[in-house]
């Protein structure tokens, strides 16, 4: 998201609601992202409020058009808000509205400079507890990449919409399976359990949010923890084969 270089910092929310590069699939979107970042640099002030509001507006619109995806905002900043209404409670309110909206848009914060308290406040309001402060790391570039990888793991959803069968057929809730491919091993089946109370303390499992009228597939807490911290892992949902259960 850009500011008006050379003409002062824009305080218009709409200026930040149109991305230089839209949300896309990697690695196909990598070249456009790299080119965009290479052609921009930090300049001017820190108009956090309109930038964050515009980013959340865009993310919300995209999420509404692409249901079933986890959509987040990452605010990377080199300082505290200082123009365009730098009132922290007002900025926190914007982050909170995104985190508590429908769809839910969490705000993660990566800070280089700026006060820890201010940036932590934005992250907490945005539903992500605290900011990633990387300016004290001797290798800032690697620290930034590590922060993005951690964010990817934390943002991975532990709830999935039930996939629609092909050809307009009726959903058979006894013919849905969940598979997990860890970053360092072969794909494994995640067995279905009866409900949240039947989740294993360790190991893998999933259950329906409502056994009589399911709308979502929910991963058990131990499964969610395992998958969320496996940066290179992936989850696959398969429809049409009898459900594998414990």
Q: Which residue do the tokens 């911290």 mark? A: 229
CA 127 to each of CA 79, 147, 209, 214: distance values in angstroms, whole numbers, following the listed order: 20, 16, 22, 26
For residue range 129-170, list pLDDT tens digits in order. Answer: 999 999 887 888 899 988 988 887 777 778 887 877 667 778
Q: So what's the pLDDT on residue 195?
A: 92
Listed in order, strand segments (DSSP E) in the chain are 72-77, 106-111, 132-133, 159-161, 176-181, 188-190, 206-208, 216-219, 234-239
CA dihedral 129, 133, 139, 143 (to 10 degrees): 20
| Closest to 92 (Cα-Cα) out of 116, 60, 117, 124 | 124
Q: So what's the pLDDT on residue 173?
A: 93
Residue 219 backbone phi and psi in degrees, to 5: -80, 140
| Closest to 148 (Cα-Cα) out of 134, 137, 160, 135 | 134
Mean pLDDT of all residues in the chain? Answer: 87
> In angstroms, rounded to a whole number, what is the distance separating the alpha carbons of residues 219 and 156?
11
| Closest to 88 (Cα-Cα) out of 44, 130, 38, 125 | 125
| Closest to 223 (Cα-Cα) out of 242, 245, 202 | 202
> In angstroms, rounded to a whole number, what is the distance separating the alpha carbons of residues 87 and 242?
55
Judge if pTM exceeds 0.85.
no
Confidence of residue 41 (pLDDT cuts 50, 70, 90): confident
Say if residues 131 and 74 touch (Cβ distance below 8 Å): no
């Amino acid at each position: 998201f850009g500011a008006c270089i050379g003409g002062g910092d824009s305080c218009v929310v709409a200026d930040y609601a149109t991305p230089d590069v839209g949300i896309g699939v990697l690695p196909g979107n990598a070249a456009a992202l790299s080119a965009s970042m290479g052609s921009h640099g930090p300049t001017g002030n820190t108009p956090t409020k309109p930038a964050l509001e515009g980013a959340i507006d865009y993310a919300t619109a995209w999420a509404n058009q692409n249901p079933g995806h986890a959509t987040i905002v990452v605010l990377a900043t080199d300082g505290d808000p200082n123009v365009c209404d730098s009132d922290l409670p007002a900025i926190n309110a914007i982050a909170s509205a995104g985190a508590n909206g429908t769809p839910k848009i969490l705000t993660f914060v990566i800070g280089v400079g700026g006060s820890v308290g201010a940036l932590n406040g934005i992250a907490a309001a945005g539903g992500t507890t605290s900011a990633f402060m990387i300016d004290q790391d001797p290798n800032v570039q690697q620290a930034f990449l590590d922060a993005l990888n951690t964010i990817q793991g934390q943002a991975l959803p532990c709830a999935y919409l039930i996939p629609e069968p092909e050809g307009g057929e009726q959903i058979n809730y006894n013919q849905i399976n969940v598979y997990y491919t860890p970053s360092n091993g072969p794909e494994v089946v995640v067995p279905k359990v009866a409900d949240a109370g039947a989740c294993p303390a360790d190991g893998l499992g999933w259950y329906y949010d409502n056994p009589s009228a399911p709308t979502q597939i929910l991963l058990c807490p131990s499964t969610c923890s395992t998958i969320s911290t496996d940066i290179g892992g992936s989850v696959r949902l398969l429809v049409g084969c009898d459900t594998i259960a414990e």
